A and B are shown apart, each in its own frame.
Chain A
Amino acid sequence: MRIKVDIETGSMELPIDYRRKFLSYIKSAFEDYNQELYTELYEMGSSPKSFCFSIYFLPEVEIGKEEIILRSKRFTAWFTTPDILMGVHLINALMARRNKWFPLADCDNKLRTLSINNVQERPITANTALFRILSPIVIRDHDNKEMKKDWYYTYEDSEFEIIWKRNLKAELKNKFGRDVSSDINELQIKPIKLRKTVVRNYDIYIPCTIGNFILEGERYLLEYIYKAGIGSRRSLGFGCLDIV
């Protein structure tokens, strides 16, 4: 499911970690809409949230080091999810905020949801699809043992594909009612203009990947990735994809 939400900002200035700010807007929308669901989504530890999002600033926009000047005062948030019920809840939560101003946390700005659309998904009919990265892909290796440290990989690193596939296997372990590891191993990324970028999130700088790529493999996996997004930190606004 793909949901397109048009949003107006109260003023032109947005902080550079706007993803985090926008997420708190979403969270409080969920909190108002359905406390039970909110708890399940945001207070039950690090369970993977079942939607990802990306933000597209409408021109004109200037992106600086510390802040963003959004002259249009308009942006579009794209949400994707493989779970239709999740999508319905998300729409319901945002529906309650339509045409009302809500402050943006810790900054002198506010947001107003203007319109919500359920956008037709593109059918995947072959074993290959050309993806555009809507929000940067984060590939993270979490060191559970001593350091509790995160390692991030971009497409330029040789570990990128290994870690991505390992994480994907963990994610899909009980998803399709069978072992899909071999199908995951068969997945092939062919880069088209992939490049590295660094994104600031919660005071850390995360190296990630943007651009376009072709993914080849089992259709159901392509479909899943199209809807669920790719990589880590998806609920924070990373790894959202579209098909070109």
Chain B
Amino acid sequence: MYHKAYGIIETLAPLHVGASAGEETGNLNLIFRDQFTQTGIIPGSSIRGRFRADMRQKRQWWLEKQLKEKQIVIPNSRVQTVEVGEGEKKKTLSRLEWLELQAKEQKITVPDLINENYWYGHSSVAGQTDGGTTEALVKFEYASLVWLPVFCPGQPIVWVSCPRLLKRYQQITDISYPIPKPVDGQYPVKLNNHRNRLFFNLGFLDNLKSTPELSAWVPLNSRVKPENLVVVDDSDIATIHDMALYRQTRTKLEDGAKKVENFFGFEALPEDSILVFPIAIRQSVSKVDIENKIAWKPFKETTTDLYLGGLESIGCGRTSVMLSGEYFTATSGSNYSQSQSIGA
């Protein structure tokens, strides 16, 4: 039924997916957590939304390029809405809607390769059966943590995980090693410089067991490259996660004076966290671009920078996303880049 693939997310800035300031002003805006391990997740809908928005932007650029070639005058980039029609028929269109209208008049058809409605399901359209929605050809599931960096004064940054998180990683990536787990209170670690104890805010881990095989659990080609790894009990990860989160108090100052009007805090997954999410691609979709069957190719390369979650304008959410798995690897990397590329 489906091709299998997955994405590895490495955070390049704090990542906040959860309550927004508007909802809980005055409180700590929490991130969404997985109900079992109480660790941060990114819902599949957020990931799909980002992929959709990204491709929509590509489509918009493509439309602008096509219309320019046909000598259509396009408003400058600061213009985000355009008014059309006269009298009662007058209405305000978004820039994209205006471009679509122009394209229709010019009989320009958007190729499926960059049509987000084709890949991720058509958004609902007023007046059509079922709202005009279609089934997505590419489906996303939520992203869970694989490695979470913890800063603690006086010790190296350590990336922490637990058996349950590693199990999901194993299921998604099909790696064949046995899942490392603490046994008899001995914690599997791989540290650059061996040390006898690590502090987390639940206390000390004293019984460290050097386990070089942990490297196998770091995604290949990882940009972050965790250096110090430790696996703790499922029951301990929530507390350590709470210590590791990036937390910041934000203040809203009055517009006319430098006085605090409001306080609100937020938490976010810290920079250099590693997450994994599965992707299912309908079997009908080609792995390579052969004649009419086109391949799903959201980015030029298999790795790209993407913004996920909220608070994007204040530097949160910058991530590096790497696509991998059977769908991508079985065709070999070279085919990916050989397949036709349309876009800006």
A and B associate: no
Identify the A interface with B (CB < 8 A): none
Identify the B interface with A (CB < 8 A): none
